[in-house]
């Protein structure tokens, strides 16, 4: 497995793969890999002839007071994990390689990006769409893999691929959880012992919401309020949002019907964590 940092170099290798008729899978990540990422890489390995994992902490998707500087990084550990999962190349560019001096073109989406994380992090999805478009153009994958934990991101990327005519299949993969239910996230590493215990309220709220919907509750406010009560009972937790939206439009719904996304973002101390469930109600 190779670690490549130059756009020209990775392009040459992928062109050669394509000349040989090989199918290419891309797993975009910001590194500090965990079992969630590994499940994406393994899926990509099982469905493609060659797999590229990009590891790039993308500055444009972080707001001014967010954790870009402190975001955890460990390329040595990441490369060992990628190799064991069967990846062929890690694309690990410098910021100056991805955003050379003078770069001033961004990919911007309206509508889908206004709700949920887009409301609390107004420039986040512009950064995500821009970097993912660039990664798609650089690596020209046949297939790309994203985690369902960032359900809004997955919906945004699927829409972007459709709207901008990228010839790429997007696959969403299920949330991978710790044994006690906490969704795996690189940001879990920020939590101290007490916060780690408190972070379980996210899973408790999600489990409660899901049971209510499964048991036939169709009033979104009832579900949201029960979930909020659970989170508010934890002194270290502060709600950013608890919302139920239409899976296709990301607009809030008052009646739970069709395919819905119930998504939450909660601060545990200074760490912002997200979780969600999707339901299809006939």
Question: Which residues here bind ligand PAF, judged by CB under 6 A?
Answer: 28-30, 58, 61, 128, 131-132, 150, 153
Burial of 11 (0-12, 13-18, 19+ CB in 10 A): middle
Q: Which residues sit opposite 263 in a β-bridge?
A: 243, 276
The rounded distance, in Å, linking the Cα atoms of 135 and 54 is 8
Give the shortest CB-272-to-ligand PAF separation in angstroms: 14
Token pair for residue 230?
């659970």
Per-residue burial over 73-111, b = 16 or more CB atoms within 10 Å of its CB, e = otherwise:
eeeeebbebbeebebbbbbbbeeeebbeeeeeeebebee
Residues 6+ apart with CB under 8 A from 149: 36, 175, 183, 184, 185, 274, 275, 276
Report the distance separating Cα 164 and Cα 158, nearest Å: 10
Considering just the CA atoms, what is the radius of gyration of the chain in Å? 19
Q: 180 exposed, middle or buried (CB, 10 Å; 0-12, 13-18, 19+)?
A: exposed
Give the nearer residue to ligand PAF in terms of CB position, either 113 or 253.
113
**Given the complex with ligand PAF, which of 188 and 198 has the nearer CB atom?**
188
Of the candidates 134, 125, 121, the one whose C-alpha atom is nearest the C-alpha of residue 67 is: 121
Assign 198 to helix, strand or coil: helix
Output 147 or 209, the one with its CB closest to ligand PAF.
Answer: 147
- Does residue 124 carry a catalytic annotation? no
Catalytic residues: 37
């Amino acid at each position: 497995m190779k670690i490549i940092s130059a756009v020209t170099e990775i392009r040459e290798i992928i062109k050669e793969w394509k000349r040989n008729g090989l199918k290419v899978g891309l797993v975009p990540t910001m590194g500090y890999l965990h079992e969630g990422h590994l499940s994406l890489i393994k899926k990509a390995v099982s469905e493609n002839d060659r797999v590229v994992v990009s590891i790039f902490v993308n500055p444009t998707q972080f707001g001014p007071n967010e954790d870009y500087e402190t975001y955890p990084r460990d390329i040595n550990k990441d490369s060992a994990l990628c190799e064991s999962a069967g990846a062929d190349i890690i694309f690990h560019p410098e910021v100056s390689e991805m955003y050379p001096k003078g770069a001033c073109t961004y990919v911007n989406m309206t509508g889908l990006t206004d709700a949920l994380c887009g409301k609390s992090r107004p420039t986040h999805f512009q950064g995500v769409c821009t970097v993912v478009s660039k990664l798609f153009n650089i690596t020209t994958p046949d297939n790309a893999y994203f985690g369902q934990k960032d359900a809004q991101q997955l919906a945004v990327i699927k829409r972007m691929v459709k709207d901008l005519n990228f010839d790429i299949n997007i696959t969403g993969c299920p949330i991978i959880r710790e044994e006690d239910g906490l969704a795996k996230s690189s940001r879990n590493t920020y939590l101290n012992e007490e916060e780690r215990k408190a972070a379980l309220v996210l899973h408790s709220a999600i489990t409660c919401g899901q049971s209510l919907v499964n048991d036939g509750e169709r009033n979104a406010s009832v579900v949201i309020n029960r979930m909020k009560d659970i989170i508010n009972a934890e002194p270290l937790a502060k709600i950013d949002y608890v919302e139920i939206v239409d899976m296709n439009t990301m607009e809030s719904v008052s009646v739970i019907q069709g395919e819905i996304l119930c998504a939450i973002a909660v601060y545990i101390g200074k760490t912002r964590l997200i979780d969600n469930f999707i339901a299809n109600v006939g």
